[in-house]
Amino acid sequence: MKSGKTAAGKKHDASQGAKIILIVGAGASGMLAAMSARYAARDLGVGDDRLRIVLLERNRNPGAKIAISGGGHCNVTHEGPVDRLLERGFLRKNEQRFVRPAIYGFTNEDMVALLDRYGVPTASREDGRVFPVSGMAGDVLAAMQRMLRDAAVELVTDARVETLVADGSGFTVRAGSSTRNADAVILAAGGSAWGSSGTTGDGVRLAASAGHAIVHVLPALAPVFFTEPPDQELVGVTLRGVGLLVETDRGSDFRRGDLLVSHRGISGPACLSLSRTVASMMADAGSAPRLAVDFFPGHDEGAVSAFVLEYVSKHGSQLVRTFLQRCPIAPALLVDRPEGVETETVTIPNAFVPEIMRRAGICPDQVMSVLTKQQRRKLAAVLKRYVLGTAKKVPLDRAEVSAGGVSLVEIDPKTMESRLQRRLFCCGELLDYAGEVGGFNLQAAFSTGWMAGRQAALSLFGKEPSARA
């Protein structure tokens, strides 16, 4: 769409005296804000000619991050009751409390129903992630653009907002050579992750210009690069269900999940979940964070040592390397697999075995029966804390989302309105929260955007609509 055109491709001819809601950013939160504002106004009996909704997008096309999310498949949300979604998706309690009203106001089921109404059925996977049945993010984006047209939203692209000024009675926004006035403004320009998609912190910058405190922006849901690359033999190896520990002299944190060794460090769900902590530790000017794998999460070192000893009593003539190759990863119970019995248990990858033995001080051809007590304990210690490397970088340009941004204490979680500036609303990733991998961040963007748009319309027309769209 060309700059200055409506979503339907025609110039907007607003009636004189119409109220104007201006939304900065046509991503997930901005598009939902635009639709919600229109639905709320219509529920109040406000004609479309009495409310202009202008959506400004710096990119040539809206929804750039939606188009690339989930590897192009678009993990739109996560299934299940809202309480469980909040518990799994937002581990920091203050962030969980903040997004709670918005997600209850526009739930995962609401989003699924909205997409279905526009011809995009979805399906949930075993892990709870919800995707379009087609597996194509473009279908989600196309449906959202149809929603904008139905909501009579004026979409203006190639319009990067440079300044925002509040004069007491309204707002003035400058984008390039164009200056626009508005009665209410919604900042929905995203965070600073995946800068190539256009999310370079514009919303945070504009909020700061309006007086908002900004929490230092950090990458979240990102890979971690090491000071020294992993051994070539380990590159491409996946570890299932392991524990991942990050620690410095000042503290530590832990996640459990799958992990992928890359040529520069690590990635995979456990790493993505922990990356925000790693980045925070690095920003804290302490010692460089060390990352280690726990092959037996849920079992302490003593239990692992006892497991090894029991194995020795049954299979003393077996090579230690054979034991390690048969060793289960992240077992629920520490039990020996009977000889000749095939199971689906995932075992320690062979590529890790030589280095585990070296770190435990065990010779390549040593048999179980000659393990000393000291070697057995050392082996258990290595299996519980196999150091992968030292963090060098958590790349913001490779992060799925960013943490930090507009301080949550300055935004009303029940309306998304600024506590500092009346009729200025903030939503989506520019706020200081970051959910886990699995569709939680998109759902939060949809929900906070929906609430911001609805409340912006209510702030202009004065009362609660009879029913939510």
Q: pLDDT value at position 199?
A: 66
How far apart are the C-alpha atoms of 136 and 266, rounded to whole Å?
Answer: 27
Pick the CATH number of 19-219+402-461 from 3.90.1150.10, 3.40.50.150, 3.50.50.60, 3.40.140.10: 3.50.50.60
Closest by CA to 454, choosing from 39, 14, 13, is 39
Averaged over 217-236, what is the pLDDT?
96
Averaged over 180-207, what is the pLDDT?
85
Q: pLDDT value at position 11?
A: 38
Q: How confident is the model at residue 197 (pLDDT cuts 50, 70, 90)?
A: low
Q: How confident is the model at residue 3 (pLDDT cuts 50, 70, 90)?
A: very low
Averaged over 331-342, what is the pLDDT?
69
Check: CB of residue 397 under 8 Å from CB of residue 239.
Answer: no
Burial of 266 (0-12, 13-18, 19+ CB in 10 A): buried
What is the percentage of the chain residues whose pLDDT exceeds 70?
91
Mean pLDDT over the full length of the chain: 91
Q: pLDDT value at position 195?
A: 63
Q: Which amino acid is at 297?
A: P
Check: CB of residue 29 under 8 Å from CB of residue 452.
Answer: yes
Q: pLDDT value at position 196?
A: 61
Q: pTM to 2 decimals?
A: 0.90
**What is the SS3 assignment for 19-65?**
EEEEEECCCHHHHHHHHHHHHHHHHCCCCHHHEEEEEECCCCCCCHH
For residue 391, list its beta bridge partners: 226
CATH 1.10.8-classified regions of the chain? 223-394
CATH 3.50.50.60-classified regions of the chain? 19-219+402-461
Q: pLDDT value at position 198?
A: 57
Q: Which two tokens stand for residue 174?
A: 């400058």
CATH topology of domain 223-394: Helicase, Ruva Protein; domain 3 (1.10.8)
What is the percentage of the chain residues whose pLDDT exceeds 90?
84
Half-sphere exposure of 418 (CA within 13 A, CB side): 22
Q: Which one-letter DSSP state was computed for residue 376?
A: H
Assess whether pLDDT exceeds 50 at residue 66. Answer: yes
Averaged over 78-106, what is the pLDDT?
97
